[in-house]
């Protein structure tokens, strides 16, 4: 019977190797890439929470986004769909604030899809209904999504919403240029890819009077995001997870240098 046992061990070992192998090859490959000069576009955002706080209770960005993207306003909080919204600072960053970071203690901070460089949601999707574009935008195909919600479980930022019920009756007004969704699919911020295609800025960036949201190409030294990143101290949400989020939050530096 020893041959059988050997076969068994062999088969089990091979299976494990095949799965682990792919992941480690990917890890090595991405490590090798870091030395290359960066070309093309990599969209990113810089959020300035202190500027954002200037007008208390302002929801201009959320309203603009949810209107142009036909995001429903559902009465039941459990069924909520949201693309961009505010969370208390310590929730957004799992930060300790008893004596540190008092400026932002319990203050609302904008959160939305981080358009990660290494997005776990894309990794887990069984139908490639969510994928990362060359320019870094993490996209959604609402016609391919089977509604398994694996991406919702995988997102470490709680950025994805599922349509628990038909969203259409909950839309006060439909923006005809943008699709509405059906029940049973996942949705989230797409960096306004439809506006980027027309050379426009994302709706939230345009709507913010305080210019608390900057948008631009990370690979372009002259872009507003790079300029802001250069002279400010910024943090990202949960960088330790290796997802490489591309939304930066200004928490120090020279807040008024740029418009």
Partner 1 sequence: MFMFEKAVVGSRRYWAWVFALLAVIGAGFVSYLYQLNVGLGVTGLSRDITWGFYIAQFTFFVGVAASAVMVVLPYYLHDYKAFGKLTILGEFLAISAVTMCMLFIFVDMGQPTRVLNVLLHPTPNSMMFWDMVSLSGYLFLNALISLVALSAERKAVAPPKWIKPFILLSIPWAVSIHTVTAFLYNGLPGRSFWLTAILAPRFLASAFAAGPALLILLCMIVRKVSSFDPGDEAIRKLSVIVTYAMLVNVFFVLMEVFTVFYSGIPEHVHHFQFLFAGLHGEAYLVPWMWTSMALAAAAIVLLVVPKLRNNLRILPVTCVMVFVSLWIDKGLGLIIGGFTPTPLGEVTRYTPTLPELLIVAAIWAIGFLMITVFYKIALAIREGMGYEIAH
Applying CB under 8 A, what is the total number of residues that bind partner 1? 59
Does 157 sit near partner 1 (CB under 8 A)?
A: yes
**From candidates 50, 59, 60, 79, binder to partner 1 by CB under 8 A:** 79
Q: Which stretch binds partner 1 (CB under 8 A): 101-109, 140-148, 207-215, 246-254?
A: 140-148
Q: Residue 87 and residue 95: Cα distance in Å, rounded?
A: 12
Residue 84's DSSP bridge partners are 112
Does 22 sit near partner 1 (CB under 8 A)?
A: yes
Using DSSP's 3-state secondary structure scheme, residue 41 falls into coil
Q: Which stretch binds partner 1 (CB under 8 A): 80-88, 189-197, 207-215, 226-234?
A: 80-88
Nearest of 87, 86, 142, 136 to residue 115 by alpha carbon: 136
Burial class of residue 96, CB neighbours in 10 A (0-12, 13-18, 19+): exposed
Does 155 sit near partner 1 (CB under 8 A)?
A: yes
Does 120 sit near partner 1 (CB under 8 A)?
A: yes
Q: Residue 221 and residue 39: Cα distance in Å, rounded?
A: 11
Nearest of 117, 185, 120 to residue 148 by alpha carbon: 185
Q: Residue 88 and residue 31: Cα distance in Å, rounded?
A: 35
**From candidates 67, 117, 132, 156, binder to partner 1 by CB under 8 A:** 156
**From candidates 103, 153, 174, 257, binder to partner 1 by CB under 8 A:** 153
- Name the site residues for partner 1 (rule: CB under 8 A): 1, 4-5, 7-8, 11-12, 15, 19, 22, 76-81, 87, 90-92, 94, 111, 120, 123-129, 144-150, 152-158, 161-166, 182-186, 238, 241-243
């Amino acid at each position: 019977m020893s041959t059988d046992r050997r076969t068994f061990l062999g088969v089990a070992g091979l299976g494990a190797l095949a799965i682990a192998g792919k992941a480690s090859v990917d890890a090595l490959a991405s490590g090798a890439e870091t030395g290359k000069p960066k070309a093309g576009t990599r969209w990113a955002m810089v959020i300035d929470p202190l500027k954002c706080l200037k007008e208390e209770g302002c929801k201009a960005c959320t309203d603009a986004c949810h209107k142009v993207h036909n995001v429903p306003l559902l009465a039941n909080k459990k069924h909520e769909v949201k693309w961009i919204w505010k969370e208390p600072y310590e929730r957004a960053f799992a930060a300790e604030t008893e004596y540190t970071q008092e400026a932002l203690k319990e203050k609302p901070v904008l959160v939305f899809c981080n358009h990660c460089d290494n997005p776990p949601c894309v990794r887990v999707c069984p139908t490639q209904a969510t994928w990362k574009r060359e320019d870094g935008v993490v996209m959604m195909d609402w016609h391919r999504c089977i509604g398994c919600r694996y991406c919702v479980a995988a997102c470490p930022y709680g950025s994805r919403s599922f349509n628990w019920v038909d969203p259409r009756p909950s839309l006060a007004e439909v923006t005809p240029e943008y699709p509405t969704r059906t029940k049973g699919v996942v949705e989230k911020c797409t960096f306004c890819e439809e506006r980027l295609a027309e050379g426009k800025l994302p709706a939230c960036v345009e709507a913010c009077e305080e210019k608390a949201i900057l948008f631009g190409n990370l690979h372009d030294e002259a872009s507003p995001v790079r300029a802001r990143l250069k002279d400010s101290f910024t943090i990202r949400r949960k960088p330790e997870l290796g997802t490489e989020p591309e939304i930066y939050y200004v928490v120090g530096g020279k807040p008024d240098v740029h418009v």
